[in-house]
Structure 1
């Protein structure tokens, strides 16, 4: 028996409405010149039960309290929705708990191959649990999906399926809550999942993983380049092991011992705080590059938005600057920005301090200064607020900081070494974005079966 739309009675409706021919819980994709591929549709709950796995929400607030979190960097991380960035867990500002809490929350421990899904707030975030995250905790606001025992669907294929725009739309459409969206495990178990044979899944996953590997390799190269720049700053301007340091004596100052001929200076004497304010929403037809805290946390690239979509006043950016977040300085956010060759106007959140004046200090040197552990620690001590999650620094407190000022020749020599590193890091970040866009274009076509995976060229991409 069939319904008026041709769907077999009792079959799970395909949420993407692809007009395929249904056979019970299966559909057949026919492509010219290719063998037909059978796609099965089952709910996530059915898949998990068949696999001996589960769909389980993270601990509720009554099980995991703020007082359980510790500052120990060696403690076990707890994965919240905010930590899920582009399909992976970003540990930059992750919360941690000690072994006592881990033992108490043993039913929420993540294992390799698990998928963590955001169930509260920003519905649609998800992250893969790799070997590094094995043993971490699924946090409040998150949900753990385990199907490692499935003989029908690869966990990695399901991970990509959960990243489909249609899947995210389904989850968002089934979330409840007026002020903050929530998903229950029961609702997520009803999610229809459409998948082909294991062999086809493996081919699809291989294509998408190739792109992910390129993204991850570039991301690691960026981290190495930025860390090299920070280490060189520390070597020259903290430990004072710059070229020729052997012949220069140290002298005592309020900041401790510094090389003779160097000086102490107030930050405001070397840098300007850019505060030119603009109301983008007054420009109805203009697109802006919007440098916001969420954009930094997400991809470290500005979002492109029409003026009316930006609903509050912002700083107008021009030329080169280094931006430092005023919010929660315990987790530094430092953004290098160069708008010298852009035609589109750019704006920044007023949660950033926009530092400029490259005529005095090259911004590669400023980047080293504001990312140094000493500066970050001093910034954190000036912050105020009602809670540790809403600490802010005052611009005046930052600009009145006293710092060491090296001779211009040393600064220029340092900048000549570091500038190419940071420029390469910026270029790699742009490559990462190109790869992400390619992945996001491939993903729905591969998962939907509209792109024949056997026809794709999987030869390595030269870097």
Structure 2
């Protein structure tokens, strides 16, 4: 679930025999996906070119059964509305386990719906923002692919630990005086690679400090690469999950290092070094990760390094623009839902953004 859309790139596959046994619950393009276990309340839409899919146990898909009552396009905005979020917050705490909202609980929720004409008008206005968000998401993917391919002809010849500095300093968030911190967590990576702004008191364990531009790489489950280019440090204190290694490049930009660590050969080598029997909790030891060979940046011509950095920064900038667009959309939505902001007024605001 990335930038408001479902990314099926690394989705697991089921064979035709298993598919034939499934009689209901088959997702389709345009369905709205809601996370209801663990991280509750994330919303994404299945793109128009989506394959058939089945939701994981942590998610549910929502679909309008009568578009004269509720527009399918409007459904996504209902699910990110304040009215819906308040209900989720109440329901997700009614268990002693991880936050969870059952199917029964979801069916008991009420939807705040304007008339169908206003629904469609809101979809048209906010859809312009979502279209821009989707375009940026595609640009991010293209930039990533170009950066990675630019290094494909180079052989890895040097241990990663020889070309980076590992930042190991940790801090107990409960001892911090800052009101807010930028939390680089695994869930934050998975939902869009945007650090979560939160209160230090809400973080329950020590974290690595993020003080300099760096690359974060996860030790957990390397078959699903999590490589985070922190090309610019946030204005507020940054904290990273200890599931990451915090790596500061010695001879290149963070973007070049990011492209190195996304090389398929690097990922394959990490997969061969995992420890642990559980498929969902396999880790690479930091020492093994730092011993893995990468392209030596000192052997790559400066011009190519510069091109890779420029392309990678385009992805960083597009992701930052999406943060602004998402925040603007989420601010406009309650005003449009309540009627405090007229559709035409919102159109003028959106035109300035896109």
**Fold conserved (TM > 0.5)?**
yes
Whether the aligned pair in 2 keeps the contact of 1:85 and 1:125 (CA below 8 Å) is: no
Q: 1:150 to 1:417 in 2, by over 3 A?
A: closer
Residue number in structure 2 paired with 1:192 = 110
Q: 1:319 to 1:406 in 2, by over 3 A?
A: closer
Q: 1:209 to 1:344 in 2, by over 3 A?
A: same
Q: 2:303 aligns with which of 394, 408, 413?
A: 413
| Greater RCO, CA 8 A, separation 6+ | 2
Q: 1:365 aligns with which of 232, 250, 256?
A: 256
Residue number in structure 1 paired with 2:335 = 445
Aligned-residue offset at 1:184:
4.0
Q: 2:132 aligns with which of 205, 210, 214?
A: 214
Q: Is residue 384 of structure 1 aligned with residue 271 of structure 2?
A: no
Decide which structure has the larger Cα Rg and report it: 1
Q: Which residues of structure 1 form unaligned runs of 5+?
A: 1-83, 239-254, 256-263
Q: Is residue 266 of structure 1 aligned with residue 159 of structure 2?
A: yes
Aligned-residue offset at 1:415:
1.0
Q: 1:282 to 1:92 in 2, by over 3 A?
A: farther
- Number of aligned residue pairs: 352
Residue number in structure 2 paired with 1:422 = 312
Give the number of the structure whose residues are more often strand, by fraction.
Answer: 1
Q: 1:318 aligns with which of 191, 211, 214?
A: 211
Aligned-residue offset at 1:271:
1.9
Aligned-residue offset at 1:211:
0.7
Aligned-residue offset at 1:134:
4.7
Looking at structure 1, the residues matched to 163 and 216 of structure 2 have their Cα atoms a distance apart, in angstroms, of 15
Within-5 A mapping of 1:253-292: 264-292=157-185
Looking at structure 1, the residues matched to 295 and 47 of structure 2 have their Cα atoms a distance apart, in angstroms, of 43
Q: 1:229 to 1:134 in 2, by over 3 A?
A: closer
Looking at structure 2, the residues matched to 442 and 324 of structure 1 have their Cα atoms a distance apart, in angstroms, of 35
Q: 1:112 aligns with which of 7, 25, 29?
A: 29
Whether the aligned pair in 2 keeps the contact of 1:154 and 1:198 (CA below 8 Å) is: yes
Looking at structure 1, the residues matched to 271 and 143 of structure 2 have their Cα atoms a distance apart, in angstroms, of 25
Q: Is residue 348 of structure 1 aligned with residue 247 of structure 2?
A: no
Looking at structure 1, the residues matched to 125 and 202 of structure 2 have their Cα atoms a distance apart, in angstroms, of 35
TM-score by length of 2: 0.90
Residue number in structure 2 paired with 1:179 = 97
Whether the aligned pair in 2 keeps the contact of 1:317 and 1:339 (CA below 8 Å) is: no
TM-score by length of 1: 0.70
Deviations 1:269-318 (A, max 9, x none): 22221112222221134532221112111221212233322222222223
Q: Is residue 139 of structure 1 aligned with residue 56 of structure 2?
A: yes
Residue number in structure 1 paired with 2:20 = 103
Q: 1:121 aligns with which of 24, 30, 38?
A: 38
Q: 2:148 aligns with which of 200, 210, 230?
A: 230
Q: Which residues of structure 2 form unaligned runs of 5+?
A: none
Aligned-residue offset at 1:228:
0.8
